[in-house]
Amino acid sequence: MLFKNRILQLSLAKRLYSVHSEIRQKTIHDLMAKYHAQKPISMVTAYDFITSTWANRANADIILVGDSLSMCSLGYASTTDLPLDEFQYHVKSICRAEGTSFIVADMPYGSFESSIEKGISTAVSLMKCSSRVNAVKLEVGSQKNDYALELASELCRRGIPVMGHIGLTPQRVHAMGGYKVQGSKSISDVMAIYLRAKELQDVGCFSLVLECVPHQIAKNITSKLHIPTIGIGAGPNTSGQVLVMSDLLGMTSGKVPKFVNKYSNIGELAVSGIANYIEEVNTASFPKIGQHTFTVNSEVLQEFIKELSSYG
């Protein structure tokens, strides 16, 4: 009998495991299939288990664990303030949400610049945060002899999928002189971005983010590549689009960038909901007996009251 029960337990465990494994994440192959079919690829950032669950339920092709969470979720002044260990905490949280979205983790500022060995170690540590991390994203400048290009090549050589990021690279905002459109002033700037895109493709990157690049330039760069481009502030003619979740949902107050379309106003809805709760607490209209409460057996209640009386 004990043997039969053990067999049943193992059978149920196997069944539960099989059900769980049916939720298959998208792969690079799936993304490339959309790209070759000329179907736009959707990418959105996430910060934690809840926002990752939202993105998965909305069927986002890609979830980017962006270092933008530094400002949008953690209250830092810049992406450059984000420590690697704090970022990894959020990567793990995001990966706990079930769903099919392909997950890409940023390489945070300060986690790879000191050496190729350090960069490889960081990338490996991010991939090991969870088996659901599918790739890393690396910001790469367009200047000659850029170190990050060499790192991208070394990561790809080691079988670590890399999404390159060119154009406006926020981690280099001080070197760039601020958050500015890239490739709009001179042919040399435009060609530098294009050549860097080609180089990242050639070293093995499976996709590129183009940020804050004139839409005509982004369109022409996209047409010359054979890997998908994901645009943010780069117009409609890239292979896909990415937005920061707090921007598109209106989760925080303040002005959003020009390239953002706000699809909701969660911040205002949240404040309104909390204010309504506080008002009902202050007026003693919440909680309501019967609607929000539980009952106890009347005999137990009477015994409890009787016991209380003995305590004076």
**pLDDT tens digits along 124-148:** 999 999 999 999 999 998 888 889 9
What integer pLDDT is reported at residue 176 of this predicted model?
Answer: 56
211 catalytic per annotation:
yes
Confidence of residue 17 (pLDDT cuts 50, 70, 90): very low
- If one compares 178 and 23, the residue with the highest pLDDT of the two is 23
What integer pLDDT is reported at residue 298 of this predicted model?
Answer: 95
Chain centroid offset of residue 203 CA: 24
Listed range (31-35, 141-145, 293-297) with the worst mean pLDDT: 141-145
What integer pLDDT is reported at residue 18 of this predicted model?
Answer: 47
Confidence of residue 14 (pLDDT cuts 50, 70, 90): very low
Measured in degrees and rounded to the nearest 5, phi and psi for residue 257 equal: -60, 155
Measured in degrees and rounded to the nearest 5, phi and psi for residue 229 equal: -110, 135
Q: Which of 98, 117, 211, 280 is catalytic?
A: 211
Average model confidence (pLDDT) for the chain? 91
What integer pLDDT is reported at residue 1 of this predicted model?
Answer: 53
* pTM summary value: 0.88
The amino acid that residue 240 corresponds to is: G
- What is the SS3 string spanning 187-224? HHHHHHHHHHHHHHHHHCCCEEEEECCCHHHHHHHHHH
**pLDDT tens digits along 192-248:** 999 999 999 999 999 999 999 999 999 999 999 999 999 999 999 999 999 999 999
The pLDDT of 47-64, averaged and rounded, is 98
The DSSP result for the chain, as a single string, is -HHHHHHHHHHHHHHHHHHHHTSPPP-HHHHHHHHHTTPPEEEEE--SHHHHHHHHHTT-SEEEE-TTHHHHTS--SSGGG--HHHHHHHHHHHHTS-SS-EEEEE--TTSSTT-HHHHHHHHHHHHTT-TTEEEEEEE--SSTT-HHHHHHHHHHHTT--EEEEEES-GGGHHHHTSS--SSSS-HHHHHHHHHHHHHHHHHT-SEEEEES--HHHHHHHHHH-SS-EEEESS-TTSSEEEE-HHHHTT-SSSPPPTT------HHHHHHHHHHHHHHHHHTT-SSPTTTS-----HHHHHHHHHHHHTT-
What integer pLDDT is reported at residue 180 of this predicted model?
Answer: 66
The pLDDT of 107-134, averaged and rounded, is 97
Structure tokens at 194: 């294009």
Listed range (7-21, 83-97, 146-160, 233-247) with the worst mean pLDDT: 7-21
- If one compares 58 and 185, the residue with the highest pLDDT of the two is 58
Structure tokens at 55: 């993105």
pLDDT of 20 above 80: no
Listed range (9-13, 43-47, 135-139, 269-273) with the worst mean pLDDT: 9-13
Given the structure tokens 């409609």, which residue do they identify?
Answer: 236
The pLDDT of 10-38, averaged and rounded, is 76
**Taking the domains of the chain in order of start, what are their residue ranges?**
28-264, 269-311
What dihedral angle (degrees, nearest 10) is formed by the CA atoms of 276, 277, 279, 281?
A: 160
28-264: CATH topology is: TIM Barrel (3.20.20)
What integer pLDDT is reported at residue 312 of this predicted model?
Answer: 65
pLDDT of 179 above 80: no
What integer pLDDT is reported at residue 245 of this predicted model?
Answer: 97
The percentage of residues in the chain with a pLDDT greater than 70, rounded to a whole number, is: 89
